[in-house]
Amino acid sequence: MYQASETINHKVETKMTENPLPGKRKSQLVDRNVRETVGQAKVPNFRMRCENVNVYYQFGEKKAINNVTLDIGKNEVIAMIGPSGCGKSTFIRCLNRMNDTIEGCRVEGTILLDDTDIYDKKIDVVPLRARIGMVFQKPNPFPKSIYDNIAYGPKIHGLVQNRQETDELVEQSLKRAGLWNEVKDRLTQPGTGLSGGQQQRLCIARTIAVNPEVILMDEPCSALDPIATAVIEDLIDELKKEYSIAIVTHSMQQASRVSQRTAFFHMGDLIEIGPTDQIFLSPLHQLTNDYITGRFG
């Protein structure tokens, strides 16, 4: 704890020196009633770009996301934080069109993956979801063997031709998810028999087995103990070398540990977005400041 606070202090100091008007920082905070996004939403080197995204539930009766614009950069981990019900899960589910399955849900705006609009009528959602993988809040392995859990995705997409290739891919995926040593002797046993943390890593292995370009994680550690969480966070660090990762989290510590950029959502609005350090150390918006200092949420 002591060390951690020291680091933060150090970072604050560096931030403060970067701030052109350090003394007036408090008064510079954007008023809490301003709903426009503060901060740099766009990055030059983006993998996914969302522009003016609106999401409605119940056939347009309820608006869940209001005019959100943000980019997900290449090889970047972007964290989405905010109080419960702020729409961060809804937003992340738009990114691989998982909301299509919800009756009465409508998405407006543009979401680009590289240069293609994923909500274009011509886009087939099946290959899209192969390109944008998703890890869910509750570990949800298939009630099949560990091996079949990993092999299922590659098989249906035709990424593997024979048993040997499948074996290799399964081993490789499990190794990248840091699960290989724990399960290599029981690949034929059901995936549901693993512990919670192992199950979640199995789900991550299942996602990366399809070799996606973007991985969406919807509170991947909310059901896990601190040790399992630490393992997964290390894994995310490792994975960002190859993938772009968007992670929804309730834990601000986790966001600060794993992400490069952070987006703060509040009641369907993207309030503030920026480099993680900046969000946590010198937020620009009053709401962000209140949230990260624990005044609400």
Partner 1 sequence: MNKPENTTSGSVRTVDLVQKGLARRYKAEKRFRRMGLCAISFSLLCLAVLFISIFGSGYSAFQQTVIELDIVLDPSGLNPNNLAGADFNGLVKTALYNMFPEVKDRGEKKKLLSLLSSGAAYKLADFVKAHPDRIGKALSLWVPADDDVDMLMKGHINRNLPETERRLNDQQISWIEALEEQGKIKKKFNTTFFTAGDSREPELAGIWGATCGSFYTLVITLILSFPIGVAAAVYLEEFAPKNRFTDIIEVNINNLAAVPSIVFGLLGLAVFLNFFELPRSSSLVGGLVLTLMTLPTIIIAGRAALKSVPPSIREAALGVGASKTQMVAHHVLPLAMPGMLTGTIIGMARALGETAPLLMIGMVAFIVDIPGGFTDPSTALPVQIFLWADSPERGFMEKTSAAIMVLLVFLVIMNSAAVYLRKKYEKRW
CA distances from 37 to 15, 207, 272, 287 (A): 21, 31, 5, 11
Sign of CA dihedral 42, 48, 52, 57: negative
- The smaller minimum CB distance to partner 1, of residues 105 and 130, is found at 130
- The smaller minimum CB distance to partner 1, of residues 212 and 283, is found at 212
Q: How far is the CB of 106 from partner 1 (least distance, A)?
A: 15
Q: How far is the CB of 143 from partner 1 (least distance, A)?
A: 4
The contacts of residue 272 (CB under 8 Å, 6+ apart) are 37, 38, 39, 263, 264, 279, 283, 284, 285, 287, 288
Query: How far is C-alpha 291 from the geometric centre of its chain's CA atoms?
Result: 19
Alpha carbon distance 268, 249 (integer Å): 16
- The smaller minimum CB distance to partner 1, of residues 90 and 286, is found at 90
Q: Which residues bind partner 1 (CB under 8 A)?
A: 96, 98, 101, 103, 126-130, 133-136, 138, 140-143, 152-153, 156-157, 192, 203, 206-207, 209-210
To which residue do tokens 């909301």 refer? Answer: 99
Q: How far is the CB of 140 from partner 1 (least distance, A)?
A: 4
- The smaller minimum CB distance to partner 1, of residues 99 and 254, is found at 99
Q: How far is the CB of 216 from partner 1 (least distance, A)?
A: 9
Q: How far is the CB of 204 from partner 1 (least distance, A)?
A: 11
- The smaller minimum CB distance to partner 1, of residues 99 and 286, is found at 99
- The residue length of the chain stands at 297
